């Protein structure tokens, strides 16, 4: 049976994951597939992988959403902090649409996670300004106000005490510098306090792989704003990308 369910692809530094998504539940509609990200992950190399990935789901004919860890405006990628620099300037919507023969919409990875957490996860039903951050190789951010996304906030690159914030407070900084949870929590407090001052949000949601261990560090943060772990965990990118594509992209 063919379905018009949207398909989400989460393009990450180590793996590329994809699955059709059931928008009623925010869950995968079929078992997810995962392939290793190639060493040289240029847009052209990635397009080939997307074609193979989609061929594994011949019955799914809906729109395709793809996360990218960079600024995306009208389908064109404008930054590439932690990916191959050849992404900058690439018209990814067009490239992937031509390569796959499907309607493809590219979205910033944190924005996708933010959409998914607000619609189906930790921030479901919350009004006002929710800031979803992902702590990984970099720091991703999504600003969602009353369910509406303001894309490309890029708050991981705020300059704090003379440093690019993600270089000090991302999970990669914790592992690279072998920081204790306590030490990292201090840096996170500085980071989230800066966000509090600038945005006065209702809620912070913390995603990224390390959110699995949130009880190790979230209770150590000293903030005025509620801060909770993401709920969709490693599904957020796929689900958010599919949701984004189902709404026709940006």
Residues near ligand BGC (CB under 6 A): 69-71, 79, 81-82, 108-110, 134, 136, 138, 140, 154, 156, 166
Rounded to an integer, what distance in angstroms lies between the CA atom of residue 112 and that of residue 240?
A: 4
Rounded to an integer, what distance in angstroms lies between the CA atom of residue 35 and that of residue 180?
A: 32
The CB-of-196 to ligand BGC minimum distance in angstroms stands at: 20
Torsion of CA 116, 120, 122, 125, to 10 degrees: 110
- Smaller CB distance to ligand BGC: residue 117 or 154? 154
Rounded to an integer, what distance in angstroms lies between the CA atom of residue 209 and that of residue 195?
A: 21
Rounded to an integer, what distance in angstroms lies between the CA atom of residue 137 and that of residue 141?
A: 13
- Smaller CB distance to ligand BGC: residue 5 or 79? 79
Class of residue 160 by CB neighbours under 10 A (exposed 0-12, middle 13-18, buried 19+): middle
- Smaller CB distance to ligand BGC: residue 9 or 71? 71
DSSP SS3 for 232 = coil
- Smaller CB distance to ligand BGC: residue 100 or 152? 152
The CB-of-94 to ligand BGC minimum distance in angstroms stands at: 20
- C-beta of residue 134 within 8 angstroms of C-beta of residue 207: yes
Q: How would you classify the pairing of strands 72-73 and 104-108?
A: unpaired
- Smaller CB distance to ligand BGC: residue 71 or 185? 71
- C-beta of residue 55 within 8 angstroms of C-beta of residue 41: no
The CB-of-172 to ligand BGC minimum distance in angstroms stands at: 10
The CB-of-69 to ligand BGC minimum distance in angstroms stands at: 3
Report the residue closest to ligand BGC, judged by CB.
Answer: 138
- Smaller CB distance to ligand BGC: residue 60 or 210? 210
Q: What angle do CA 68, 99, 139 make, to 5 degrees?
A: 5
Rounded to an integer, what distance in angstroms lies between the CA atom of residue 121 and that of residue 61?
A: 26
Would you say how long the chain is, in residues? 250
- Smaller CB distance to ligand BGC: residue 97 or 141? 141
The CB-of-173 to ligand BGC minimum distance in angstroms stands at: 12
The CB-of-111 to ligand BGC minimum distance in angstroms stands at: 8
The CB-of-181 to ligand BGC minimum distance in angstroms stands at: 21
């Amino acid at each position: 049976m063919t379905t018009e369910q949207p398909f989400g692809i989460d393009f990450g530094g180590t793996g590329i994951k994809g699955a059709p998504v059931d928008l009623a539940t925010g869950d995968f509609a079929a078992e997810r597939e995962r392939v290793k990200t190639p060493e040289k992950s240029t847009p052209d190399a990635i397009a080939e992988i997307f074609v193979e990935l989609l061929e594994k789901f011949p019955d799914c004919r809906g729109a395709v959403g793809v996360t990218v860890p960079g600024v995306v405006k009208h389908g064109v990628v404008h930054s590439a902090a932690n990916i191959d620099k050849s992404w900058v300037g690439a018209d990814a919507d067009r490239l992937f649409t031509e390569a796959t023969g499907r309607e493809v919409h590219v979205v910033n990875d944190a924005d996708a996670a933010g959409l998914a957490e607000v619609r189906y996860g930790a921030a479901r039903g919350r009004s006002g300004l929710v800031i979803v951050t992902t702590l990984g190789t970099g720091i991703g951010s999504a600003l969602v106000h009353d369910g509406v996304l303001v894309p490309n906030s890029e708050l991981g690159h705020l300059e704090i005490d003379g440093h690019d914030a993600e270089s000090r407070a991302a999970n990669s900084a914790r592992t690279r510098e072998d920081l204790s949870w306590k030490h990292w929590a201090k840096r996170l407090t500085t980071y989230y306090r800066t966000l509090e001052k600038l945005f006065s949000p209702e809620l912070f949601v913390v995603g990224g792989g390390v959110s699995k261990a949130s009880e190790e560090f979230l209770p150590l943060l000293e903030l005025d704003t509620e801060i909770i772990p993401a709920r969709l965990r490693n599904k957020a990118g796929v689900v958010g990308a599919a949701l984004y594509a189902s709404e026709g992209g940006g």
